[in-house]
Structure 1
Amino acid sequence: MNQPLGHPVRQPQPKKRPPWMVGGVAVVTFVALLYIVEVFDQLTGHSLDSNGIRPLESDGLKGIIFAPLLHADWQHLGANTVPALVLGFLVSLAGLSRFVWATAIIWILGGLGTWLIGDLGAGPYETNHIGASGLIFGWLTFLLVFGFFIRSAMQITVGIVVLFIYGGILWGVLPGTFGVSWQGHLCGAVAGVVAAYLLSKPERQARHSRKTRQPRLTT
């Protein structure tokens, strides 16, 4: 039986979604998860809130994992919603892989820092730190410095815009309103800078390599 001549027909490749869409879906999904958790928490009489970060207590270490998912009430969650959507989305524009790694570093490192210093300035009161604000502060500082680490004009511009819009909340890393975890804000912010430095390593190494390959001119 004769076979038709010519090149085999190529199957069309599935169209990739643009990065901004993938990042947007990831961030919206995360925020939706926060609302699902809060619905369950409300229906069970705030049974989840005790799973926050309790500083220097061994059973409080689990709060490092759970604290960013928990909120005291709808007002608390509502205050974190818009910053989480905006800043999380902007971080995701650096690439989904970097977004995931940045979030993981801020989540774990910021939570560990809160566990270590969370009772600082609390006096005789025992503290239980919950809420996504530490993560939000980490995303904020990541955006502020990442562009300078990778020498990207676009990322630097994003950082400047973010500083202009959200820079005022950085005062939240200082002791202030009773009941607000400035310790969590501070540790999240520090973790965001660490994440930006670590995740900018490919660009920093490439920049270093270019410098070392440049010939030295003498006169």
Structure 2
Amino acid sequence: MLRSKEVRIPLLLISIAWFLYVLELSLDIHLYQFGVYPRNRLGFFGILFHPFIHGGFKHLFSNTISFAILGFSLFYFVPKIAGKVLLQLSLFSGALVWLLARPSFHIGASGVIYGIAAFLFFLGIFQKDPSSLIISLCVAVLNHGMLIGLVPNEKGISWESHLAGSVVGFILAYLYRGVETTFSHKKKQIPDNDLYKEGYQNLENNAFKYHYKDNSK
């Protein structure tokens, strides 16, 4: 099960995004200018802030659901590096958008969401472990509709962020392919008592001992 610390981090990030949205509504301001604006010096700072800024309630609500599911999954399956992966996905995908995307303000957590999905999917593939492949299967089934977001298909959607997040997620999955997952950790917890190694099971314990009696004499 998720520990409280692992639950708090995704919830904290979601809370920050909602706080900023409520702040926009309360003060009648717009924070989109704090997003990533490619190849612009001020827009560079958007790499730090863009995941928390959204274009409206629908945008924020949609990203909240997706990020909650994938964020909790990330912390459950790879708790030792989940925080590091989340930070790297945000910074590196934002940097790619700043370098390569079309001139416009790019905001929202979609790039990070795509990055988590790609990371979990390819981690299962790279580890070549049947138990880890469950991660890939679950991600593929739950997020198959995300593929259409990797290409230009709708005005006002930063497909560049989606693609950048997916690329970074793929690279990080390869770099961390040796990480211990929850499944591999559980396998190591199974005690090796040599119970079945020679075709028999040793039932002896402190209360029960075998006593051999030689009747041949």
Partner of 1:75: 58
Correspondent of 1:60 among 18, 38, 43: 43
Partner of 1:155: 132
Q: Note if contact 2:150-2:159 (Cα within 8 Å) is conserved in structure 1.
A: yes
1:52-81 CA distance string (max 9 Å, x none): 000111111001000001001111101111
Q: Note if contact 2:125-2:136 (Cα within 8 Å) is conserved in structure 1.
A: no
Partner of 2:176: 199
Count of residue pairs brought into register by the alignment: 180
User: Aligned equivalents of 1:36 and 1:109: distance in 2?
Assistant: 24
1:188 CA drift (Å): 0.7
User: Aligned equivalents of 2:154 and 2:126: distance in 1?
Assistant: 33
Please list every run of at least 4 consecutive aligned residues from structure 1 whose deviation after the TM superposition is greater than 3 angstroms: 18-22
TM-score relative to the length of structure 1: 0.76
User: Aligned equivalents of 2:29 and 2:131: distance in 1?
Assistant: 43
1:201 CA drift (Å): 4.2
1:124-164 CA distance string (max 9 Å, x none): xx410000000000001011111222333333102111101
1:70-219 equivalences under 5 Å are 70-119=53-102, 126-201=103-178
How many percent identity over aligned positions?
27
Q: Note if contact 2:36-2:43 (Cα within 8 Å) is conserved in structure 1.
A: yes
Q: Note if contact 1:55-1:117 (Cα within 8 Å) is conserved in structure 2.
A: yes
TM-score relative to the length of structure 2: 0.77
Q: Note if contact 2:36-2:50 (Cα within 8 Å) is conserved in structure 1.
A: yes
Partner of 2:207: none
- Asked if residue 30 in structure 1 is aligned to residue 13 in structure 2, the reply is yes
1:202 CA drift (Å): 5.1
1:31-46 equivalences under 5 Å are 31-46=14-29
Q: Note if contact 1:19-1:95 (Cα within 8 Å) is conserved in structure 2.
A: no
User: Aligned equivalents of 2:179 and 2:7: distance in 1?
Assistant: 25
1:183-203 CA distance string (max 9 Å, x none): 011001101111212222457
1:23 CA drift (Å): 2.3
Alpha-carbon distance change, 67 to 110 in structure 1, aligned in 2, over 3 angstroms: same
User: Aligned equivalents of 1:178 and 1:30: distance in 2?
Assistant: 27
Which blocks of at least 5 consecutive residues in structure 1 are unaligned?
1-17, 120-125, 204-219
CA RMSD of aligned residues (A): 1.7
Q: Which has the larger radius of gyration?
A: 2
1:46 CA drift (Å): 3.1
User: Aligned equivalents of 1:85 and 1:191: distance in 2?
Assistant: 20
Q: Note if contact 2:70-2:116 (Cα within 8 Å) is conserved in structure 1.
A: yes
Q: Note if contact 1:52-1:60 (Cα within 8 Å) is conserved in structure 2.
A: yes
